[in-house]
């Protein structure tokens, strides 16, 4: 962790234009180095003592207590009024919502071998809606995208996934938008809500999948609620942010004209933040799609189930084909919502000649869409996607061939790379964390947090360290911390290299960005098998998987940061005779220090969210504990504790890096 | 203006489609004869079958589902669930049957003895072998490795970046029954248990090991489709005797042979559904299961097609289940 946090500070140290700050930064660097030195010395003396290690099958009292709570919920679910009148009702409502959408587009309804609306109708409606809320370009994209899903031979699976995603997003927005508005209007609500949102986003979903089926039974309701819990926070956060960023002057103007609070909200705040709120909806949709594979473990139908089933027989091709369908869905939904948020902006104030025709055109489009829906309801050829999905099997074959080729030809190289990094960096660092006495590691973390962040960050770290010890999985948490730190270093290396490249060239940006989007949305389960072949069942495989997932975020943030450096500054540096290397290291990177710290923060959080996936491929530690808790009743409590430990690590990292970012920005 | 024109063209195209479509087959034209008809022996309604995530289980489930659908006229609802969650479903009526259970004494105690929501529906006929396996090339090159007493001799060969200087013993999915940590300690082996974390990871490790002649030893089990691709060899541990695994800390013997069995919900057992009789009567051999599992995993047939192929070739066995 220390290594990761130091990264942006180091670049700060070479910053020439601010000598005064430089002195302070160096001092801070010296202090951190001092802390590390003391730690190393004490480590050499006290190695192996008070490490709080716990064997894979051992439990603490806390873990047993969690088990008992879980069991008693299960035993009382048929008699407890809370279940009979509250949870069961919620389940009923959500179940009927999902079933309704499924009947509409994906599942055969009673008396019909096909859903109410067939593929032609869905494609027509999707195209029409994209055109109405966005523009004809995204309409074309969504028609092409949805047709491609059919050609892949995954029409029904895709529609199941779409039905589940849409239901979850609807339920999430029902709560998220009002809550976000409230948090935007009131600082106190915002302060109360934020920790809950952190919790919802960092708690591994595996931890609450099993309890959810206790509360809401096996079926679409549990899958939808699991997805909702994970997907709602971005919408809440972004809505609150949108409301907050409406200029104060505008609000005051409304007030002075005698608008009531309600009027100010409905006529000023909401319309002005519409664009950002739509971006929040966009993020919620993306998060919901990311849950598709995991929800398949509790019988959510759709593409996730295809991925999981393919993995049982290590069928990379089929898993990739289904993963690609998820990516296509994500890209279509992303572009449509992005275009929709842009439309809100352009529609206001523009008076293009088409505007007066727009109403008629919309009506004509609606008629066309209605005809397509009717056709797909009535005729088999429009209801069932024609063909055998030959494109899909072609994709599957190619993916399998590429994987086999890579496995056969690269594994020597990748194994060498793995061994160098594991023995040179990961193992020493991990033994420093796991073999030091717990109080020494804790003290070092608090000290580093205080020095790099602030007193408040130090205090938060202290609380987190205390709670980590209480979870009983301290040793595992330290193992995970070591891998997380190494992964974050790699993420930042990639982020700086690719980010700067993209930030400096619009062409490179356009070429690379789609693969970044794909890497973020492609379910990690798909690339686990090839990675396992390349790197074996090791901690390193988990690190690589985490890097693939987390690097795109860091790259995007850094690219934006580099691009935000004023053109004039770069030109001035060029005119003084700086070469490209100097411009990058002396001007562009130092000036985007805020972006670098933010990238570290987000990179760490994304890496942490892959800890559980890492547990499936040999990373052990917290990830394994969580998966074990999901799989074995008597380990449930331990899995829950491990999940809490991941949340605590996340909170600790987040507070330290944010405090450091504030300091860097000041 | 251009946009207006475009919409007009689209409208014309749709009109054209509508006209040409009139000759197409309508939904519902022939659906009466297909699914939904209950031609079988009457009162079999919905049969909720849990699908636990491994191919061997899927083979059992596929054949049972096929027979239930085609011979008994049941409507089979397959539910993809991990064991723990599947057992939870017995109580709530969401799951009727789990058709390949490995031990799980803790779950049996909780759901059969205490909550009484589940009952035992007898063995599947499959014998589950758990143990330590090595890739075939290794067993051939060093035959004495198949005896645990010689493992320490080779320990250094099994070293990896994960095993901290000792030999690596690779364990798999956390839901497996395992005593391996205790075994390593009590047999005084110079090995460290490393958790691969999933069956996928374990199989991939063995696949690589056989292909690249790498040294791998780890946990595995039969019946398993992967053995038809790479016939792993089992290492013999000290012989299992009744009760030698009673104390989890002190285990120093091999795993017992598991009689795999079927668990059904108490409600389902009393329902009088022909599907229950089918589940109860269902037994077959490891070879049978491996055949179907191979159709699914290696030949990439759909579970339903794989089941059809096996059922048609083994009509006599199937008839004995539903007589």
Which helix (H) or strand (E) segment holds residue B126: the answer is strand B118-134
**Interface touch A112/B296, C-beta < 8 Å:** no
**Interface touch B26/A378, C-beta < 8 Å:** yes
**Interface touch A361/B7, C-beta < 8 Å:** yes
**Interface touch B195/A624, C-beta < 8 Å:** yes
Judged by average pLDDT, the poorest of A180-184, A275-279, A304-308, A319-323 is A275-279
Task: Indicate the burial class of A222 (C-beta count within 10 angstroms; 0-12, 13-18, 19 or more).
Answer: buried
**pLDDT-derived band at A645, boundaries 50, 70, 90:** very high
**d(C-alpha A648, C-alpha A18), whole Å:** 36
Q: State residue A350's pLDDT score.
A: 54
Q: State residue B8's pLDDT score.
A: 56
Q: State residue A18's pLDDT score.
A: 43
Q: State residue A328's pLDDT score.
A: 92
Q: State residue B34's pLDDT score.
A: 39
Exposure class string for B188-222: b at 16+ Cβ within 10 A, else e: ebbbbbbbbbbbbbbbbbbbbbbeeebbbbbbbbb
**Binding-face residues of B in 147-186 toward A, CB within 8 A:** 160-162, 170, 173-175, 181
**Interface touch A418/B89, C-beta < 8 Å:** no
**d(C-alpha B23, C-alpha B230), whole Å:** 54
**B195: which strand partners?**
B171
∠A108-A111-A116 over CA atoms, to 5°?
45
Task: Answer yes or no: is pLDDT of B147 > 70.
Answer: yes
**d(C-alpha A89, C-alpha A103), whole Å:** 21
Q: State residue B33's pLDDT score.
A: 39
Report cis status (omega within 30 of 0) of the bond before A560.
no
**Could you tell me which of B11, B3, B219 has the C-alpha nearest to residue B102?**
B219
Q: Is B92 on the interface with A (CB under 8 A)?
A: yes
Q: Are residues B155 and B246 in the same domain?
A: yes
**B128: which strand partners?**
B258
Task: Answer yes or no: is pLDDT of B4 > 80.
Answer: no
- The CATH number of the domain holding residue B197 is 3.40.190.100
Q: Are residues B264 and B115 in the same domain?
A: yes
Task: Answer yes or no: is pLDDT of B13 > 70.
Answer: no
Q: State residue B39's pLDDT score.
A: 41
- The CATH number of the domain holding residue B293 is 3.40.190.10
Task: Answer yes or no: is pLDDT of A19 > 70.
Answer: no
Q: How far is B69 from chain A (nearest CA, A)?
A: 16
Q: Is B61 on the interface with A (CB under 8 A)?
A: no
Q: A381: which chain B residues are within 8 Å (Cβ-Cβ)?
A: 21, 24-25
Tell me the pLDDT tens digit for each residue of A335-382. Answer: 898 888 777 566 555 555 566 677 778 888 888 888 888 888 887 777
Asked whether residue B62 is domain-assigned, the answer is: yes
**Could you tell me which of A367, A275, A626, A484 has the C-alpha nearest to residue B10?**
A367
Mean pLDDT across A534-545: 87
**d(C-alpha A459, C-alpha A153), whole Å:** 55
Q: What is the 3-state secondary structure (H, E, C) of A622-657?
A: HHHHHHHHHHCHHHHHHHHHHHHHHHHHHHHHHHHH
**pLDDT-derived band at A524, boundaries 50, 70, 90:** confident
Asked whether residue B108 is domain-assigned, the answer is: yes
Q: State residue A6's pLDDT score.
A: 31
Domain boundary among B257, B283, B303: B257
Phi and psi at A56, nearest 5°, equal -55, -35
Tell me the pLDDT tens digit for each residue of A540-580. Answer: 889 999 999 989 888 988 888 888 888 888 888 888 888 88
Task: Answer yes or no: is pLDDT of B65 > 80.
Answer: yes
**Interface touch A422/B298, C-beta < 8 Å:** no
**Could you tell me which of B162, B132, B163, B129 has the C-alpha nearest to residue B150?**
B132
Beta strand B118-134 pairing with B258-265: antiparallel
**Could you tell me which of A127, A227, A101 has the C-alpha nearest to residue A173?**
A227
Report cis status (omega within 30 of 0) of the bond before B223.
yes
Phi and psi at A600, nearest 5°, equal -60, -45
Polymer length in residues for chain A: 666
Phi and psi at B236, nearest 5°, equal -85, 130
Q: Are residues B100 and B208 in the same domain?
A: no
**d(C-alpha A30, C-alpha A39), whole Å:** 14
Mean pLDDT across A58-63: 79
Of A210, A315, A618, which is closest to B197 when you measure between CB atoms?
A618
**pLDDT-derived band at A26, boundaries 50, 70, 90:** low
**d(C-alpha A369, C-alpha A132), whole Å:** 12
pLDDT, mean over chain A: 83
Tell me the pLDDT tens digit for each residue of B218-260. Answer: 999 888 888 888 999 999 988 888 888 887 778 888 888 888 9
Percentage of chain A exceeding pLDDT 90: 15
Task: Answer yes or no: is pLDDT of A319 > 80.
Answer: yes
Task: Answer yes or no: is pLDDT of A21 > 50.
Answer: no
Asked whether residue B2 is domain-assigned, the answer is: no
What DSSP string runs through A448-469?
Answer: HHHHHS-HHHHHHHHHHHHHHH
Q: What is the 3-state secondary structure (H, E, C) of A127-169?
A: HHHHHHHCCHHHHHHHHHHHHHHHHCCCHHHHHHHHHHHHHHH
Task: Answer yes or no: is pLDDT of B20 > 60.
Answer: no
Q: Are residues B87 and B140 in the same domain?
A: no
Tell me the pLDDT tens digit for each residue of A186-212. Answer: 889 988 998 888 888 888 888 888 888
**d(C-alpha B185, C-alpha B163), whole Å:** 15
Please say whether the dihedral angle defined by the alpha carbons of residues A479, A481, A483 and A486, taken in this order, is positive or negative. Answer: negative
Please say whether the dihedral angle defined by the alpha carbons of residues A224, A227, A231 and A236, taken in this order, is positive or negative. Answer: positive
- Tokens for A520, please give them: 């973020």
**Binding-face residues of B in 267-306 toward A, CB within 8 A:** 296-298, 300
Distance of CA A300 to the CA centre of its chain: 20
Q: How far is A9 from chain B (nearest CA, A)?
A: 32
Q: B174: which chain A residues are within 8 Å (Cβ-Cβ)?
A: 624, 627-628, 631-632, 635
Q: State residue A456's pLDDT score.
A: 87
Substitution target in B11, B56, B80 with the highest count of A β-carbons within 10 Å is B80
Q: Are residues B76 and B154 in the same domain?
A: no
Q: Are residues B188 and B236 in the same domain?
A: yes
Q: A360: which chain B residues are within 8 Å (Cβ-Cβ)?
A: 4
Task: Answer yes or no: is pLDDT of B323 > 80.
Answer: no
Asked whether residue B138 is domain-assigned, the answer is: yes
- Give yes or no for a contact between A329 and A158, defined as CB atoms under 8 angstroms apart: yes
**Interface touch A537/B58, C-beta < 8 Å:** no
**Binding-face residues of A in 78-137 toward B, CB within 8 A:** 78, 111-114, 118, 136
Q: Is A423 on the interface with B (CB under 8 A)?
A: yes
Judged by average pLDDT, the poorest of A218-222, A387-391, A452-456, A489-493 is A387-391
Tell how many helices (H) and how many strands (E) occur in chain A: 34, 0
Phi and psi at B123, nearest 5°, equal -70, 155
Q: Are residues B150 and B253 in the same domain?
A: yes
Task: Answer yes or no: is pLDDT of B15 > 60.
Answer: no
Task: Say how many domains are in chain B.
Answer: 2
Tell me the pLDDT tens digit for each residue of A423-476. Answer: 888 888 888 888 888 888 888 889 888 888 888 888 989 999 999 888 888 888
Q: Are residues B211 and B249 in the same domain?
A: yes
**pLDDT-derived band at A69, boundaries 50, 70, 90:** confident
Tell me the pLDDT tens digit for each residue of B256-279. Answer: 888 899 999 998 888 888 899 899
Q: A396: which chain B residues are within 8 Å (Cβ-Cβ)?
A: none
Q: A311: which chain B residues are within 8 Å (Cβ-Cβ)?
A: 200
- Give yes or no for a contact between A608 and A482, defined as CB atoms under 8 angstroms apart: no
Q: Are residues B159 and B271 in the same domain?
A: no
**pLDDT-derived band at B140, boundaries 50, 70, 90:** very high
**Could you tell me which of A312, A307, A298, A313 has the C-alpha nearest to residue A521?**
A307
Task: Answer yes or no: is pLDDT of A14 > 90.
Answer: no
Asked whether residue B29 is domain-assigned, the answer is: no
**Interface touch A539/B162, C-beta < 8 Å:** yes
Q: How far is B320 from chain A (nearest CA, A)?
A: 31
Of B35, B197, B296, which is closest to A537 when you measure between CB atoms?
B197
**pLDDT-derived band at A13, boundaries 50, 70, 90:** very low
Q: How far is B175 from chain A (nearest CA, A)?
A: 5
| pTM (two decimals) | 0.84
**Interface touch B162/A380, C-beta < 8 Å:** no
**d(C-alpha A369, C-alpha A121), whole Å:** 7
Tell me the pLDDT tens digit for each residue of A123-176. Answer: 999 999 998 888 888 999 999 999 999 999 899 899 999 999 999 999 999 999
**Could you tell me which of B102, B187, B171, B234 has the C-alpha nearest to residue A56?**
B171
**Interface touch A380/B25, C-beta < 8 Å:** yes
Q: Are residues B243 and B217 in the same domain?
A: yes
Q: B205: which chain A residues are within 8 Å (Cβ-Cβ)?
A: 532, 536-537
Domain boundary among B223, B257, B291: B257
Q: How far is B245 from chain A (nearest CA, A)?
A: 15
Task: Answer yes or no: is pLDDT of A1 > 70.
Answer: no
Asked whether residue B215 is domain-assigned, the answer is: yes
Which structural domain, as residue segments, surrounds residue B153? 129-257
Task: Indicate the burial class of B242 (C-beta count within 10 angstroms; 0-12, 13-18, 19 or more).
Answer: exposed
**d(C-alpha A41, C-alpha A552), whole Å:** 38
Asked whether residue B213 is domain-assigned, the answer is: yes
What residues have CB less than 8 Å from B79, skipping those under 6 apart? A218, A299, B48, B49, B50, B51, B86, B89, B94, B95
**pLDDT-derived band at A416, boundaries 50, 70, 90:** confident
- Give yes or no for a contact between A527 and A534, defined as CB atoms under 8 angstroms apart: no
Q: Is B35 on the interface with A (CB under 8 A)?
A: yes
**Binding-face residues of B in 224-243 toward A, CB within 8 A:** 225
User: What DSSP designation does B159 have?
Assistant: -
What residues have CB less than 8 Å from B316, skipping those under 6 apart? none
The ipTM value here is 0.80
Q: How far is A504 from chain B (nearest CA, A)?
A: 37
**pLDDT-derived band at B97, boundaries 50, 70, 90:** very high
**Interface touch B27/A114, C-beta < 8 Å:** yes
Distance of CA A434 to the CA centre of its chain: 28
User: What DSSP designation does A53 have?
Assistant: -
**Interface touch B24/A381, C-beta < 8 Å:** yes
Asked whether residue B1 is domain-assigned, the answer is: no
**Interface touch A210/B202, C-beta < 8 Å:** no
Q: Virtual CA dihedral for A92, A95, A101, A102, nearest 10 degrees?
A: -140
Domain boundary among B228, B257, B286: B257
Tell me the pLDDT tens digit for each residue of B161-214. Answer: 888 888 899 988 877 777 888 889 888 999 999 888 888 888 988 988 998 888
**Binding-face residues of B in 123-152 toward A, CB within 8 A:** none
Q: Are residues B92 and B239 in the same domain?
A: no
Task: Answer yes or no: is pLDDT of B2 > 80.
Answer: no
Left (φ > 0), alpha (ψ -120 to 50) or beta: where does B103 sit? left
Task: Answer yes or no: is pLDDT of A11 > 50.
Answer: no
**B46: which strand partners?**
B75
**pLDDT-derived band at A301, boundaries 50, 70, 90:** confident
What DSSP string runs through B52-105?
Answer: -SSHHHHHHHHHHHHHHHHTT--EEEEEEB-HHHHHHHHHHTS--EEEEE---H
SS3 B47: strand
Q: Are residues B134 and B229 in the same domain?
A: yes
Q: State residue B36's pLDDT score.
A: 39
Of A357, A372, A540, which is closest to B3 when you measure between CB atoms?
A357
């Amino acid at each position: 962790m220390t290594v990761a946090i130091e990264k942006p500070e180091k670049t700060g140290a070479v910053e020439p234009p601010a000598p005064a700050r430089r002195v302070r930064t160096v001092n801070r660097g010296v202090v951190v180095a001092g802390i590390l030195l003391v730690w190393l010395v004490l480590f050499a003396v006290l190695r192996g003592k008070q490490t709080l290690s716990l064997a894979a099958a051992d439990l603490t009292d806390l873990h047993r207590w969690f088990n008992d709570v879980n069991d008693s919920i299960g035993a009382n679910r048929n008699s407890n009024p809370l279940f009979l009148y509250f949870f069961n009702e919620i389940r009923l409502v959500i179940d009927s919502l999902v079933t309704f959408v499924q009947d509409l587009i994906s599942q055969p309804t009673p008396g019909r071998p096909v859903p109410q609306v067939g593929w032609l109708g869905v494609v027509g409606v999707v195209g029409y809606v994209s055109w109405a809320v966005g523009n004809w370009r995204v309409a074309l994209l969504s028609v092409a995208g949805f047709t491609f899903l059919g050609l892949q031979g995954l029409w029904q699976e895709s529609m199941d996934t779409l039905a589940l995603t849409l239901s979850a997003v609807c339920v999430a927005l029902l709560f998220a938008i009002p809550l976000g508005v409230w948090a935007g209007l009131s600082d106190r609500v915002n302060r109360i809500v934020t920790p809950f949102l952190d919790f919802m986003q960092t708690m591994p979903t595996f931890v609450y999948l099993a309890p959810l089926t206790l509360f809401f039974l096996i079926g679409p309701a549990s899958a939808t609620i699991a997805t909702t819990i994970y997907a709602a926070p971005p919408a809440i956060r972004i809505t609150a942010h949108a409301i907050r960023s409406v200029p104060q002057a505008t609000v005051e103007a409304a007030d002075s004209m005698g608008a009531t609070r309600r009027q100010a909200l409905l006529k000023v705040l909401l319309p002005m933040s519409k664009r950002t709120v739509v971006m929040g909806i966009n993020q919620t949709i993306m998060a919901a799609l990311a849950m598709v594979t995991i929800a398949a473990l509790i019988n959510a139908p759709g593409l996730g189930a295809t991925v999981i089933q393919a993995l049982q027989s290590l069928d990379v091709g089929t898993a990739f084909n289904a993963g690609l369908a998820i990516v296509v869905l994500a890209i279509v939904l992303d572009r449509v919502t992005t275009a929709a948020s842009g439309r809100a902006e352009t529609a206001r104030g523009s008076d293009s000649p088409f505007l007066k025709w727009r109403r008629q055109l919309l009506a004509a489009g609606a008629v066309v869409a209605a005809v397509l829906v009717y056709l797909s309801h009535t005729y088999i050829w429009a209801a069932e996607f024609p063909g055998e999905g030959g494109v899909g099997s072609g994709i599957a074959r190619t993916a399998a061939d590429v994987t086999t080729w890579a496995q056969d030809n690269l594994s020597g190289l990748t194994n060498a790379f793995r061994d160098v990094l594991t023995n040179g960096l990961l193992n020493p660092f991990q033994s420093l964390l796991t073999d030091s006495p717990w109080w020494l590691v804790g003290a070092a973390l608090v000290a580093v947090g205080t020095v790099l962040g602030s007193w408040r960050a130090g205090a938060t770290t202290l609380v987190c360290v205390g709670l980590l010890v209480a979870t009983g999985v301290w040793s595992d948490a330290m193992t995970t911390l070591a891998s997380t730190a190494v992964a974050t270093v790699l993420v930042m290396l990639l982020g700086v290299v690719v980010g700067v490249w993209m930030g400096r060239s619009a062409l490179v940006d356009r070429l690379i960005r789609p693969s970044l989007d794909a890497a973020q949305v492609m379910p990690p389960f798909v690339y686990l098998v090839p990675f396992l072949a390349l790197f074996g069942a090791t901690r390193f495989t988990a690190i690589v998987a985490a890097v693939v997932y987390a690097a795109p975020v860091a790259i995007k943030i850094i690219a934006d940061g580099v691009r935000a450096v004023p053109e004039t500054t770069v030109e001035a540096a060029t005119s003084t005779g700086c070469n490209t290397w100097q411009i990058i290291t002396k001007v562009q990177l130092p000036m985007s220090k805020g972006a670098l710290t933010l990238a570290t923060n987000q990179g760490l959080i994304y890496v942490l969210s892959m800890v559980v996936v890492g547990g499936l491929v040999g990373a052990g530690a917290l990830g394994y504990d969580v998966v074990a808790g999901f799989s074995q009743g008597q380990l449930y409590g331990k899995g829950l504790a491990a999940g809490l430990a991941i949340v605590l690590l996340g909170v600790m990292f987040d507070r330290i890096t944010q405090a450091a970012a504030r300091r860097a920005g000041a | 203006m251009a946009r207006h024109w475009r919409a007009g063209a689209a409208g014309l195209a749709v009109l054209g489609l509508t006209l040409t479509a009139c000759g197409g087959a309508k939904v519902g034209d022939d659906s009466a004869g297909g699914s939904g008809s209950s031609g079988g022996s009457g009162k079999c309604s919905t049969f909720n079958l849990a699908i636990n995530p491994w191919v061997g289980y899927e083979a059992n489930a596929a054949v049972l589902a096929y027979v239930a659908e085609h011979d008994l006229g049941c409507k089979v609802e397959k539910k993809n669930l991990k064991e723990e969650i599947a057992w939870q479903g017995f109580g709530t009526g969401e799951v009727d049957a789990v058709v390949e259970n490995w031990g799980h004494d803790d779950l049996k105690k909780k759901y059969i003895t205490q909550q009484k929501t589940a009952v035992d529906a007898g063995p599947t006929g499959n014998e589950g072998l758990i143990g330590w396996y090595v890739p075939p090339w290794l067993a051939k090159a060093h035959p004495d490795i198949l005896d645990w007493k010689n493992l320490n001799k080779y320990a250094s060969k099994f070293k990896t970046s994960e095993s901290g200087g000792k030999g690596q013993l690779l364990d798999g999915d956390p839901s497996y029954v395992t005593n391996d940590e205790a075994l390593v300690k009590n047999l005084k082996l110079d090995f460290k248990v490393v958790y691969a974390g999933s069956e996928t990871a374990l199989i991939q490790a063995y696949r690589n090991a056989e292909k690249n002649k790498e040294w791998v030893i780890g946990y595995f089990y039969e019946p398993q489709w992967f053995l038809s691709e790479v016939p792993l060899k089992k290492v013999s541990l000290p012989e299992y005797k009744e009760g030698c695994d009673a104390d989890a800390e002190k285990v120093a013997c091999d795993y017992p042979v598991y009689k795999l069995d079927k668990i059904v919900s108490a409600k389902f057992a009393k329902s009088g559904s022909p599907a229950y009789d089918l589940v109860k009567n269902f037994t077959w051999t490891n070879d049978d299961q491996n055949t179907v599992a191979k159709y699914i995993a290696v030949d990439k047939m759909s579970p339903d097609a794989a089941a059809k192929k096996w059922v048609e070739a083994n009509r006599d066995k199937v008839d004995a289940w539903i007589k």
